[in-house]
Structure formats: structure tokens, C-alpha cells
Structure 1
Amino acid sequence: MTNKAAILVAGGRGTRMGGPVAKQYLPVAGEPVLMRTLSVFYQVDPSIDLILVLPENDFSYWKHLCDEYKFSIPHRLVAGGNSRFQSVRNGLSSLNSETTLVAIHDGVRPFVKHEVVVESFEVAERAGSAIAVVSLKDSIRKLRDDGKSFYEERQYFRLVQTPQTFQVEKIKKAFSVTELQQFTDDATVYENQGWQVTLISGNPENIKITTPEDMDYAEYIAVKQLSNR
């Protein structure tokens, strides 16, 4: 058994995309988004225990897609919850007892670089956690309730991505608490225990596909990657 696992979270309905099919199942350059994401982790290490968290009602549709696209990468399905927090917790509950490191990744981020995944496991093994982040390019302003805004130094801020990788023992303990409103990602759940997270460099093209415009950009990235091979 491998000591590494990856939980790919795709428990949402993808309503912001506006179409009849959730974004995680839509094809990008001829391959559904989730299959692209699973492939990245499998290529990094074929022994990683791949766990795909989906709405339980989507299981049969996903299996149909796997047959249609002849997708054979080994993975396990876990039913999602009513929130991302609950979906991740369901994924953590399904881990094998031998697993010591787990990467938690948005299923709709199919363009994470192999090097980022590798580093996330290496750093998490040493430091307890590894959170992929990227620098900001734009100027930022902080809004107040009274409508006023103030300039902020962008060098002190980072955009948070996934994977967010952890030692299993710690992240399971972190997710044993009651869900709180400030839990916007796995790092905030981890921090709630009083632990400092460790940041690693992500890659800018590791976008979270959410809107139709994101799909257009994803198509561009996928085609460019194919042409560079």
C-alpha cells in the first residue's frame, strides 16, 4: 500500500457555469476536466491512492463517462457532503490506515504542475503542511464597511491554490471539529488547531475552472500544452 493519497474534491453542482452539465464533467481539448486532474496525480506517482469526491447522484454518470472516454486510471469514488468541508471530511474518512500524507485538491484545477505536487508531498512530510500559493500581479485595495478603501502592499499577500497537502494524522484531527464559517479552505481548518501552515510556490496557470470564461482559458492552456510536447 502507498503512504500517499490525493483527495480530488468535486462535490459541487457547478451552478456558476450556467449549463446543464456541471463544470467538472465538461471536456477541455477533448477530455473531461476531472480526468485531466486525475491524470496529473497518476503521472506524478501511479501508486498514489486517488480518491474522487462526487455527489452520490453523479456516480453512475461518472462511470458512464469513464466508459465513453475509455478512462482506466485507478481511483475510488466517495460521496460528497453538503459543503466542501464535509466533502473533504468524507474523503479523509475513506483513507487507508497506511496513508501518512494526503494532498487535497480541487477537481476543477487540472493544470497543476507535476513539480508542485511533488514538492507538496516533500514539504508536508517534513513540516506538516504544504499550501500552494502564487503572488499577486494587480494592485489591491481593502474595503471598509463605511465604503472607504485603502491601498495595501501586494507583496504581503498571496493567492491560495491547491493542492494543500498534509500529514494525515494532523489534518484528520483538524477536520474532527464542528464546521465554522471561516473555513474557506483546508489551510484554515488546519490553522484552527493553532498550527502554522507552510507555503510553497504554485503555478499561475493552475486555475480553478468556475465560469464559461475559465473554460475558454482552459482550452487555450490545454492546446498549448499539447503543442509543447
Structure 2
Amino acid sequence: MTNKAAILVAGGRGQRMGGPIAKQYLPVAGQPVLMRTLSVFYRVDPSLDLILVLPESDFVYWEELCSEYKFTIAHRLVAGGNSRFQSVRNGLNSLNSKTKLVAIHDGVRPFVTEEVIKESFEVAERQGSAIAVIALKDSIRKLRDDGKSFYEERQYFRLVQTPQTFQVEKIKKAFTVTELQQFTDDATVYENQGWQVTLISGNAENIKITTPEDMDYAEFIASRGLSDR
């Protein structure tokens, strides 16, 4: 049995998409988003313990989709919680006792590259964590409560993506705390223990599909094969 796992979190209802079907189940270039995401991780390592965290009420629908699309990549379903924090914790609690490394990834980021995933496991094994980030291209300004703004040096900032990969022993300990408002991702939960996170380079095409406009861009990425470069 592999000592590595990937938890794909897709517990949301897709309200910002504005349609009757949650974004994670919508097709991009003929394949539902979640199937694309699972496939990338499978290609990196077919022995990965793949865990898909969904609302429990969606389990039957997901199984029907897998049948419809003849999707046969082995994975386990875990019921999500009322927040991302709780969904990730449920996924962590389902890990096999022999699992040493875990990648936590947004299920609606189907265009992460295999290279980023591989590096995340390699760096996390050495350093304890590996957080995918990309540099900013635009100028940025910081807003104050009084409505004024001021310039910030963009080279000191990074946009955070997933996967966020960790040594299991550490990240499970981090998730034993009470959920706090500042926990915007898994890295902030990890940092709450006083541990410094290690950053790795992500890929620009690794978008988080949230809005209808994102779906249009996702179709473009898929049609051009940009994430496969």
C-alpha cells in the first residue's frame, strides 16, 4: 500500500456558478471537472490513495456520473463538513495509518500539472510542507479602513494555490484545533502550530473554477492543452 494520499475537497454547492448543478460536476471539454482533477493525480502515481470529499447527499449523483462517463479510476468518497476546514479534517481522519504524506487539493482546480504535484510530495517529505504559489503580474494596492490606499511591492507577495502537501503527522496535529476565521487554507492551519510553510512554484493555468467566466477559460485551457506543457 502506498504511503501517499491526495485529498480532493469538493464540498461546496457552487452557488456562485448560478446554475442547478454544482461546478465540480460540470463538464469541461467533455469530462466533469472532478474527473479531470482525479485523473491528474492518478497519472502522477496510480498507487495514490485518492480521497474525494463531497457532500454526502451527492454520493449517489457522483456514482451515477462515474457510470455515465465510464470513469474507473479508484477513489474513496468521504462526507464533507459545514466548512472547508471540517471537510479537510474529515478527509484527514479517513487516512490509512501508514500514510506519511498527503496532498490537499481543491477539486475544482483540474489544471494543476503533474510536475507541481510531484514536486509538492518531494519537498513536503524533506521540509514538512509544500505550498504551490505563483507570482503576481499586476500592481497591487492596500486599502485602509479610512478608504485610502497605498502601493505595495508585488515581489513580496504570492498568490496561493493548491496542492498544499504535508507530512501527515504534522497536518493531522494542526487540524485538531478549533476552527478559526483566519484559517483560509490548509497552510494557515499548519502555520497556527508555529511551523513555517515551504513554498513551491505552481502553474498559472491552475485556476480555481468558481464562476461561469472561469468555465469559459477552462474550456480554452483544455482545448489548447496548456496545462500539459
Counterpart Cα distance in 1 of 2:120 and 2:3: 14
Q: Quote how far apart the aligned CAs of 1:177 are.
A: 0.1
Q: CA RMSD in A?
A: 1.0
Q: Which residue of 2 aligns with 1:162?
A: 162
Aligned residue in 1 for 2:70 = 70
- Partner in structure 2 of residue 120 of structure 1: 120
Asked if 1:182 corresponds to 2:185, the answer is no
**TM-score, normalised by the number of residues in structure 1:** 0.99
TM-fit CA distance, 1:157: 0.1
- Name the counterpart of 1:56: 56
For the residue of structure 2 that corresponds to 1:39, the secondary structure is helix
CA distance in 1, matches of 2:91, 2:35: 18
Q: Which amino acid aligns with 1:96?
A: N
Measure how far apart 1:216 and its partner are. 0.1
Look up the match of 1:30.
Answer: 30
Task: Map Cα deviations across residues 60-96 of structure 1 (whole Å, 9 max, x no partner).
Answer: 0000000000000000000000000000000000000
Residues 88-99 of structure 1: matches in 2 within 5 Å? 88-99=88-99
Structure 2 counterpart of 1:21: 21
In structure 1, give the amino acid aligned to 2:97: S
Gaps (5+ residues) in structure 2?
A: none
Distance in 2 between residues matched to 1:70 and 1:109, nearest whole Å: 21
Distance 2:149 2:188 in 1: 26
Q: Deviations over 1:141-175 (max 9, x none)?
A: 00000000000000000000000000000000000
- The yes-or-no answer on 1:103 pairing with 2:103 is yes
Per the alignment, in what secondary structure is the counterpart of residue 194 of structure 2?
coil
Partner of residue 85, structure 1? 85
2:124 maps to a residue whose letter is A
Given the two structures, how large is their TM-score scaled by the length of structure 2? Answer: 0.99
Once residues 224 and 98 of structure 1 are traced to their aligned partners in structure 2, the CA distance between those partners, rounded to angstroms, is 39
Give 1:42 shift. Answer: 0.1
Alignment of 1:185-196 (within 5 A): 185-196=185-196
Percent identity, aligned pairs only? 87
Aligned-partner SS, 1:133: strand
What is the deviation of 1:22? 0.1
**Cα distance, 1:111 vs structure 2:** 0.2
**Which runs of structure 1 show a deviation greater than 6 angstroms over 4 or more consecutive aligned residues?**
none
Shift of 1:124: 0.1
How many corresponding residue pairs?
Answer: 228
CA distance in 2, matches of 1:124, 1:22: 32
- Structure 2 SS opposite 1:160: strand
In structure 2, distance between residues paired with 1:60 and 1:113? 29
- Aligned residue identity for 2:77: L
Q: Quick one: which amino acid aligns to residue 122 of structure 2?
A: E
User: Are 1:214 and 2:214 an aligned pair?
Assistant: yes
Cα distance in 2, alignment partners of residues 150 and 171 from structure 1: 36
